[in-house]
Every structure is written in C-alpha cells, then in structure tokens.
Structure 1
Amino acid sequence: MDSAAYMTVSRQSSLLREMSSIANNIANVNTTGYKKSGFLFSEAVDRLSAADKEGSIDNDLSEGSVGTQFYSNEQGFLDQTGGVLDLAIDGDGYFVVEGLNGERLTRAGVFMLNNQRMIVNPEGMPLLSAEGEPFEIPIDVTDIVIAQDGTISTDGNPVGRIVVVDTPPGMIAREGSNLWRPLDGFDPVESEVRIMQGYLEASNVQPIMEISRLIEVQRNYEMNQKILDQEDQRVSDVARTMRQG
C-alpha cells in the first residue's frame, strides 16, 4: 500500500470514529448535563484558537485525520424544574460525587435523598461537601434551602457547603454520559459560579448542527471510499498487465 492509500485508510478510520461520536451526541440530546464530544482533525488543529477549543469546529475538519478528541465545555440551557434537590451550576466547574472507585465529577445536578438521608445522584453516589464529606439531612427536616454559594440549610440551620471544582486543562476522562474521572486531581473553582436550586442544566448538543455535521462526515467517507476503490482497481490492473506481459 502506497503512502496516499495508507493516508486514505487512516482517514476512513478517523471518520468512522467521528460518526460514532456524533451519533452518541445525538442520542444524548436530552441527557441532563451532557457535554458533546468530537474529534479535532490534524489539518485544522493549528488553526484553532483558544476560544475555538471550547467546542467549535471548522466546517472542513472531516478532510484530515484525527488529532485528538475534544469535549465541549459550553454551558447548556438552565431549565427551571422547581425540584428541591435539582441543582445546576451557572458557570465553570463540576459537582463532586463519591463513586465506588473514588471521586467523580459531574454537571448533572439530579439529586435525591436515599434511605440514609444522604443527598445522592440517581446512581446512589453521595454529593460531597467542601470538606469532602457527604450531606446527611435530618429526618424531621421540612425545608431544604441551597444558596447560590452552595450552602445547604435545613430549617434555617446550615449543614455544609457544596463544592464546585475544576481540573487542569485536558486532565479529565469521560465515564459514561454524565460522569468524569479527574486524571490529575482537582481544585475549587476560582471564578464566580452560582449553584441554582430548582434548575437542571440541559445537554449542550444542538441537534441540527450535529445532523449537518454527520452528513458532512458521511459525504467525506464516501468520497474517500471511492478513492480506495479506484486504487484497488489500479493495483489489480497493474497486476493483470504484469501477468500478461
């Protein structure tokens, strides 16, 4: 296989990965706190500015090979639900929950009380405080108020403060649709953020843009496949000529 054909095969593999990523984005358009992902293609990586790395991509990215995967940190729309333990972060950062294999981060603020009166996510992972401890709500409490700085008060008595953290750039890995694993620790967010009680952050996937992107990637895949078919025919013709000669 010559270098041109090898590059085309590599490009096809990249485009397949991108199609899979787009399909996953579309499947999670209604997933609370979901962040879209994709692949930066090598021909365009050098053209991206710092602002672009928030998630915007050039229209011609499908013409190259994969450089790196990206996750968009763009904030989704904040939907008002009125749920007492529905929480959204207005700004940067993540909630911290305690998983079976250590602390995990999430933007999905769907929380509830378990049988032990701890605030947990739907998977049963406790929400952690600034001290790294779960919140336990007394059984006789009638009112839970969460201030925008994360302070939780029950019947007017503060019981702790929710921490919002962030990681060094690129030092995070997705686990499922809504959990993230920090690769090099995390620190409290220094920029101004607000925790919004009674709100949930919607997915930041824009379906029309994703469908348009999928059409573009599929078109490039088909074009590259024609190139491979032509190369295969050329090699076959050369081999046949050599046998006849």
Structure 2
Amino acid sequence: MEPKGMSAAAAALRYWERRQEIAANNLANVNTDGFKGERVFARLLNGQFPAADSATDLRAGTLRPTGQPLDLALEGDGFLVVDTPAGERLSRGGSFRLDGEGRIVDGSGNALLGENGPLTATGGEIVVGADGRVTAGGAEVGRLRVETVPAGTRLQHDAGTYFLPDPARTPAQPDQLKVKQGMLEDSNVSAVGEMVDMIEVQRAYTAVQRAITTMDDVRGTATRDLGKPV
C-alpha cells in the first residue's frame, strides 16, 4: 500500500500544478478587455489530501474611454447577451461593429441581443443610453438585453471572455442598468499579482518535490539497510 506521505505529496503537486496553469492563463489575459480572472482555492479530498478548485473572480475591471460608439461596457453587475453558434453566452461587453446586414455583432460576428432578438441599427448615428436603449438616426431600434446572476454564482468561462449562462440568471431591472457607450472594461487581473503568485507556486512546488525526494531516500534506506543482519 502506498504510504500516505507520498499520496499527500502527489496531491499537493497536482494542486500547485493547477494553480500554475490558472495563474499563467490569467497572466496571458492581463490586456484582454473584459477578462475575468480565475482564483484557485484548496479543498480536502476525502478529508485527507488537498485538491484544487477554482471560481471566476467577477469583480469589475476599470472602465476605459475609447470614444468609439460601438464600444460598450457595463458599470456594476450584469451581462450583455450574445448569440453564438453554440448558443447564448454572457458577456461584459467589448468592441462591436455592424455586419453586412446592419446587425450589431462582436469581433467574431456573433449578434448582440436586444430584448426582442438581434439588434439592427442602420440609418444614422448610433446612440446607446445608460438604460440600454439603442437608437439609430434618432429612431429607437431596441433595448439591450442585460441579465444578472445571484450573488455567489460560480459562472464558468467559455471561449474568449464569454460565460456560460447560469439557470438562475434574470433580466436586470431598469434601475440596475448602467450601460456605458464608448468605453471598454479592462481585465480585472493584475500583472504584478499574477507574477507574485507564479513565484509562490514555483517555490511551493519545488519544496514538495524536495519532500518527495527525501521520503524516497528514506524508503530506499529502509529497503537496503534495515533488513541487513548486524
């Protein structure tokens, strides 16, 4: 039977490996608009060994003015909804554009959804109000569909900066809407913080490796020497 010390050390290595993977991904997305970092925490597996679990950090990033009319962000809680080939996805906003049909789409061509479906905005200057109303040339074309999730909901990342919709999502109340036109939300990841975490992970991983080497040496000594006649 494998000694518990080796099992615990192996579990610890898996935990630190997972922390390194997530820290590296966070660091790679420091400059990705609307990116939300992942945070790792430990839980005991079978009451004995550490295992890595993670959750998305939904704290808002800094809003950065761009002056572009189809750059959209949300102040406070809430998510825009886009229609992708894989189904609806939640988004904190980003740089949108008009496609050949006049629909408002993101960089991947996915339609930004209003309360009544995809938004088409042709015929003049596009204005998006704080309440989500979209007008083109002074004529209202719809209202952005903005949804919220209960506090503590653990949303899962999807491709890019999308999130998988949660069954508990609900339409945002009118007084909750704070749409910001001509602005983008920065990533909520700190490059310095993630570098510090990477260093911590590397040191901890090395320490566990040393412990495994020591335990292996002890086992080797016991096998070779303790059984010898005196």
Is TM more than 0.5 here? yes
Q: What letter corresponds to residue 178 of structure 2 in structure 1?
A: R
For residues 137-180 of structure 1, the C-alpha deviation after alignment (integer angstroms, 9 at most, x for no partner) is: 23xx1211100010001111111000211234435321123011
CA 1:109–1:210 in structure 2 vs 1: closer, same or farther (change >3 Å)?
same
Residue among 47, 54, 74 paired with 1:69? 54
- Please say if 1:152 is aligned against 2:101: no
Give aligned pairs, total: 222
Q: Which residue of 1 aligns with 2:15?
A: 14
With over 3 angstroms needed to count, the CA separation of the structure-2 counterparts of 1:67 and 1:20, relative to structure 1, is closer
CA contact (8 A) 2:56 2:156 kept: no
The more displaced of 104-113 and 17-26 is 104-113
Which residue number in structure 2 is paired with residue 40 of structure 1?
A: 41
Residue matched to 1:49: none
SS at match of 2:41: strand
The answer to whether the 8 Å contact 2:19/2:52 transfers is no
- Which of the numbers 129, 132, 149 marks the counterpart of 2:114? 129
2:210 to 226, 230, 233: 226
Opposite residue 176 of structure 1, the aligned amino acid is A
Decide whether the 8 Å contact of 1:89 with 1:194 is kept in 2.
yes
TM-score (norm 2): 0.90
Counterpart of 2:189 in structure 1 is 205
Alpha carbons of structure 1 residues 67 and 16: separation in structure 2 relative to 1, 3 Å: closer
CA contact (8 A) 1:171 1:184 kept: no
Compared CA separation, residues 185 and 119, structure 1 to 2 (3 A):
farther
Cα pair 1:108 1:178 within 8 Å, conserved: no
Alignment of 1:109 with 2:122, yes or no, is: no
Q: In the TM superposition, what is the alpha-carbon distance from 1:242 to its structure 2 partner?
A: 5.1
Local SS of the residue matching 1:42: strand
The CA deviation at 1:67 is: 4.8
| Aligned partner letter, 1:10 | A
Tell me the distance in 2 between the aligned counterparts of 1:203 and 1:159: 30
Give the unaligned 5+ runs of structure 2: none
Structure 2 CA distance, aligned partners of 1:66 and 1:117? Answer: 49
Name whichever of 145-154 and 189-198 sits farther off.
Answer: 189-198
Residue 241 of structure 1 and its aligned partner are, at CA, apart by 2.2
1:162 alignment counterpart: 144
Deviations 1:96-140 (A, max 9, x none): 000112100111321111111100011111000123x001123xx
Query: Match for 2:161 among 156, 168, 178?
Result: 178
CA contact (8 A) 2:15 2:52 kept: no
Following superposition, the deviation at residue 219 of structure 1 comes to: 0.9
Whichever residue aligns with residue 223 of structure 2, its letter is A
| Alignment match, 2:27 | 26
Identify, as 1 or 2, the structure richer in strand: 2
- Percent identity reads 30
Gaps of 5+ in 1: 44-63
| CA deviation string 1:194-217 (max 9, x = no partner) | 100000000011111111111111
Letter of the 2:159 partner, please give it.
G
Alignment-mate amino acid for residue 225 of structure 2: T
Aligned alpha-carbon RMSD (Å)? 1.7
> Per-residue CA shift, 1:15-60, capped at 9, x if unaligned?
00101100111100010100011211237xxxxxxxxxxxxxxxxx
